[in-house]
Amino acid sequence: MSDIRSRYSPLGRALSPSLLISMAAVLAAALIGLGLIFLMQVSVPDAIAAFIDGTIGSPYSLAASINRSIAFALVGIGFVFANRANLVNVGGEGQIAVGGIAATAVALYGGVENLPLGLPYLLPLLAAVLAGAFWGAIAAALKIKAGTNEVISTLLLSFIAVWLLYWTVQSEHLLRKPMTNSATLPESLEIPDATKLPLLTGDYSFPLHIGLPITIVIAIVLGVVLARTLFGLQLRAVGLNPAAASRAGISYARTVLISLAVAGALGGLAGGFMLLGEQYVLKDGFSSGYGFDGLVAGLLARGSIVGVIAAALLFGFLRSGGINMEMVAEVPTALVMVIQGLIVIMLAGAAYFLERRPG
C-alpha cells in the first residue's frame, strides 16, 4: 500500500516511510536530549534560548552554522556516494585533516600568493582535494588487493591522519610557526589574505564563503551522476553483486577506487574550506568530531543527496547551538553526541520495521 503511494505520487514520495523514520528518529532523540538537560538541572527554556542564539542569533552565528553544515554536507555526500557501491567510508575526520594540512601547506609555502584568477585559493583547495582523494584511495587499494574491510581501514587511516596533523603542527620542520618563546602555541602561521576564500557578501560579520555555492553545485552534479548516468548504475551494480557486475564487464577495481577516492576528496575539500574559509590557522584537532557528524548525516539521508543537505544543515545548527549552550547554559557539547548516537541507533533498528511492508 505504502509501496504504491511512494512510487506514483509526489506527496507519497515525500511521505515515504524512509523519510518518516528519519524524522521520527531525530524527534525522539531530541526529546531525550531535552530530558537529559532537565535531569542536569539546567533550565530547559534557558538551554533552548542559548541554542537558538548560537544558531541564528546573529548574522555571524548564522554564517558559522552554515559553514559548519558545508563541511558535514561534503562528508555526508561522500559517504552516500561510496555507499551506493556498498562501501562504508568512516574516515571522514582523517580526510578532513589531510585536506586541511595540504591546503595550509600550499597556502603558506606554495608560492601561490601572487597568482591571478583566484589561483591563490583555488590551488590550495585543489591540494586539499587531492590529499583527501589519496587518503581514500589507500583504503580502496587495500580493498582491491586484499579484500580489506574498508570500515576498519578508513577508521585506522583516520587515526593515523589525526596524529599526522598533531605532528605537523608540533614540528618546526613542518608547519609549526616559528617559536619566538616557550609560550608559542603549536599551530601554523596564519595564511596570507590572498589565499583566504572570498566571502559571498564581502562582509566579515556575515562570513559565508564561496564554499556554499561550490558545495551546492557538487551536490547537484553527484546527485545527477548517481541517478541518471551509466556510472551511477555501475556503482549500484557493484554494490549489489560484485561478482555478477564483474562478469558483466564492470571493473570492480575502477569502481571501488573512484568511489572511495571521491568520498575522500570531498572530505579533503571540507578540510580545505575549513582552513581557507574560516580558521585560517592550522591547529591540532581542528577536524575533531566533524567526521562523525558528516557520517551521521550520510546515514540519516538513507541514500539521498537531498537528504544529506537537510541532515547536514540540521547538524550544523545543532553543533553551533550546542557550543553556545555550553558557553552560556553550561550544557556540555557531549550532549549533541548523545543525540547523534541515539539517532544512528534508532535508524539502524528502524530498517526492520521498514521491511515489514505488505505485498
Partner 1 sequence: MTWEVLAVFLGSSLRLATPLLLAGVGELVSERAGVLNMSVEGMMLTGAFAAAIGSWATGQPLIGLGIGIIAVIPVALIQAVLSNTLRANQIVTGIGINILVLGATTLGYRELIGARSRTEIPGLSMWSPPGLGRIPVFGDALFEQVWLLYAGLAIIAITALVLRYTSFGIAIHAAGAEPRAVDKSGLSVSFIRYCCVLFTGFMSSLGGAFLSIGDIHTFTEGMTRGAGYLAIASVIFGKWKIGGTILACLLFGAATALQFQLPTLGIDVPNALLIMLPYLLALLAVGGLAGRQTAPRALGEPFRR
Partner 2 sequence: MSTATALATASERVPSEPLLTLQGVTKRFGSLLALSDASLEIRPGEIHCILGENGAGKSTLCNLVFGAHTPDAGTMTFRGRPYRPSGPADALAAGIAMVHQHFSLVHDMTVIDNVVLGQERGIINTKAWARRLEQLGGDYGFALDPFAKIDDLSVGERQRVEIVKCLIREPRLFVLDEPTAVLLPDEIEALLDVCRRVAQKGCGVVLVTHKLAEIKKAADRVTVLRGGRLVARSDHPAQEIDALVRAMIQGELQSLDKSAASALGVAEEDGGGPHRPTPPETPADEVLQINGLTVIDGQGVTRLDNFTLSVGRGEIVGIAGVEGNGQSELGAVLSGMATPTSGHVYVGDIETTELTPKEITATGFAVVPEDRHATGCILELSVAENIFLNRLDTFTSYGFLSRGALTAAAGELMTRFDVRAQTPDVPFSALSGGNQQKAVLARELTLPNLKVLLAAQPTRGLDVGAVAAVYGHIRKACERGAAVLLISSELDELIAVADRIVVLYRGRIMGSCAADPTEREKIGAMMAGQLQ
Binding site for partner 1 (CB under 8 A): 36, 40, 88, 90, 142, 145-149, 151-153, 155-157, 159-160, 163-164, 166-167, 170-171, 292, 295-296, 299, 332, 334-345, 347-349, 351-352, 355
Least separation in angstroms between CB 346 and partner 1 = 8
* Between 73 and 331, CB nearer to partner 1: 331
Could you give the CA distance from residue 52 to residue 321 in angstroms, rounded to a whole number? Answer: 6
Could you give the CA distance from residue 66 to residue 39 in angstroms, rounded to a whole number? Answer: 30
Q: Which residues neighbour 318 within 8 Å (Cβ) at sequence distance 6 or greater?
A: 336, 339
Q: Which does 295 bind (CB under 5 to 8 A by kind): partner 2, partner 1, none?
A: partner 1
Distances (CA, A) of 112 to 107, 119, 173, 193: 7, 7, 20, 11
Query: Is residue 359 a contact residue for partner 2 (CB under 8 A)?
Result: yes
* Between 247 and 356, CB nearer to partner 1: 356
> φ and ψ at 127, to 5 degrees?
-60, -40
Q: Are 298 and 312 in contact (CB under 8 A)?
A: no
Near partner 2 in 235-254, by CB under 8 A: 236-237, 240-241, 243-249, 251
329-333 LR contacts (CB < 8 Å, sep 24+): 329/42, 329/43, 329/46, 329/47, 329/49, 329/50, 330/42, 331/37, 331/40, 331/42, 331/47, 331/50
Q: Which does 148 bind (CB under 5 to 8 A by kind): partner 2, partner 1, none?
A: partner 1
Least separation in angstroms between CB 204 and partner 1 = 33
Phi-psi sector, 91: left (phi>0), alpha (psi -120 to 50), beta:
alpha
Query: Is residue 174 a contact residue for partner 2 (CB under 8 A)?
Result: no
* Between 202 and 358, CB nearer to partner 2: 358
Q: Which does 8 bind (CB under 5 to 8 A by kind): partner 2, partner 1, none?
A: none
Least separation in angstroms between CB 279 and partner 1 = 20
Task: Report CA 323 to chain centroid distance, whole Å.
Answer: 18
58, 229, 348, 349: which one binds partner 2 (CB under 8 A): 229
Grid cell, residue 145, equals 588487493
Query: Is residue 177 a contact residue for partner 2 (CB under 8 A)?
Result: no
Nearest 5 degrees, angle CA 220-CA 223-CA 226? 150
Buried b (16+ CB within 10 A) or exposed e, 145-154: eeebebeebb
Query: Is residue 27 a contact residue for partner 2 (CB under 8 A)?
Result: no
* Between 148 and 246, CB nearer to partner 2: 246
Q: Which does 341 bind (CB under 5 to 8 A by kind): partner 1, partner 2, none?
A: partner 1
Count of all residues that appear for the chain in the document: 359
Least separation in angstroms between CB 40 and partner 1 = 6
Interaction site with partner 2 (CB under 8 A): 228-234, 236-237, 240-241, 243-249, 251, 359
